[in-house]
């Protein structure tokens, strides 16, 4: 039995022409990937993510940072999309326009065959040089913590194509995300808090023009002022919503 709030969101989805999904670390955690809030383990337990994911950290010890990201890339490649990712892909097959704005860098939305994915924080599978941002090709078979490649154009060391602490979000991705928030009929905020940036500002934009904003999260502290809150993991809540909105699609 669905709650009244769940039915409200399901009805809004059924009537929507444009839906924006804003996803964060919580949905990837359901696929076994740790979040930045989780303590590091093993060799990395003596570090904080903030000590490894900054330009200053890379300048200080590029080999250490590269090794950490090699392990993170390997984990992302091994991870599989969960029912939450697959439900979003299904939503894209039903609603005319669904834009995914993700704060995640793991590529799991694409692995679930989703399209129109805006990667606000970049991609861990992309590589560019540190000094001049030249795009570099990194063969997964050659991705090793013992081999830190250099840019063939300028000789600068490779870095992951992600947004580090202290760096600006990519302008084009941010502009597209704002447009998606401004134009949607429904926004689903999935696996990220509705009170931190950029979720808060994008959610506020959607609310300001009358969109239904639903926060899907197992943490009740993630509620967004003006939005509705659906307590539960994405892997169970999103399939429930879509099955309720389109019962014939089961």
Per-residue pLDDT at 194: 66
pLDDT in tens, 51-100: 899 999 999 999 999 999 999 999 999 999 999 999 999 999 999 999 99
pLDDT in tens, 142-188: 789 999 999 999 999 999 999 999 999 999 999 999 999 999 999 99
Per-residue pLDDT at 98: 99
125 is catalytic: no
Q: Which one of 3.40.50.1580, 3.30.1600.10, 3.40.50.360, 3.30.300.130 gives the CATH number of domain 42-78+127-162?
A: 3.30.1600.10
Active-site hit among 85, 109, 121, 125:
121
In the sheet that 122-129 helps form, which strands lie side by side, from edge to edge?
135-136, 122-129, 158-162
Per-residue pLDDT at 193: 77
Indicate the SS3 state at residue 157. strand
CA–CA distance, 39 with 48 (Å, rounded to integer): 8
Q: What is the 3-state secondary structure (H, E, C) of 12-53?
A: HHHHCCEEEEEECHHHHHCCCCCCCCCCCCHHHHHCCHHHHC
Q: In CATH, which superfamily holds the domain spanning 4-33+80-121+169-249?
A: TPP-binding domain (3.40.50.1220)
C-alpha 38 chain-centroid distance = 16
Residue 247 CB neighbours (<10 A): 10
pLDDT in tens, 99-133: 999 999 999 999 999 999 999 999 999 999 999 99
How does residue 141 score in pLDDT terms, banded at 50, 70 and 90? confident
The bridge status of strand 135-136 relative to strand 122-129 is antiparallel
Model confidence at 36: pLDDT above 90: no
Mean pLDDT value across the chain: 94
Structure tokens at 184: 């949607």
pTM of the model: 0.94
Model confidence at 35: pLDDT above 90: no
> Domain locations in the chain?
4-33+80-121+169-249, 42-78+127-162
Phi, psi of 98 (to 5 degrees): -125, 120
Model confidence at 37: pLDDT above 80: no
Structure tokens at 16: 């929507």
| Greatest Cα pair distance in the chain | 60
Model confidence at 38: pLDDT above 80: no
CA–CA distance, 65 with 62 (Å, rounded to integer): 5
């Amino acid at each position: 039995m669905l709650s009244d709030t769940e039915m409200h969101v399901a009805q809004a989805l059924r009537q929507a022409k444009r839906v924006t999904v804003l996803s964060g670390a919580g949905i990837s955690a359901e696929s076994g990937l740790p979040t930045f809030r989780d303590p590091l383990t093993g060799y990395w337990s003596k570090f904080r993510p903030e000590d490894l994911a900054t330009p200053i950290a890379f300048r200080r010890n590029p080999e250490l940072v590269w090794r950490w990201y090699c392990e993170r890339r390997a984990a992302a490649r091994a991870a599989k999309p969960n029912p939450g990712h697959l439900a979003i892909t299904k939503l894209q097959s039903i609603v005319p326009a669904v834009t995914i704005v993700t704060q995640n860098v793991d590529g799991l939305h694409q692995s679930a065959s989703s399209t129109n994915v805006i990667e606000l924080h970049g991609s861990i599978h992309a590589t560019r040089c540190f000094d001049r941002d030249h795009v570099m090709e990194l063969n997964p078979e050659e991705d090793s913590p013992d081999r830190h490649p250099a840019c063939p154009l300028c000789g600068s060391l490779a870095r992951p194509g992600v947004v580090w602490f202290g760096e600006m979000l990519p302008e084009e991705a941010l502009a597209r995300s704002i447009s998606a928030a401004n134009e949607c009929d429904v926004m689903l905020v999935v696996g990220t808090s509705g009170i931190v940036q950029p979720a808060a500002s994008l959610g506020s934009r959607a609310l300001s023009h009358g969109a239904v904003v639903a926060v899907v999260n197992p943490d009740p502290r993630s509620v967004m002022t003006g939005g509705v809150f659906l307590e539960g993991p994405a892997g169970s809540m999103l399939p429930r919503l879509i099955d309720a909105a389109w019962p014939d699609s089961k």
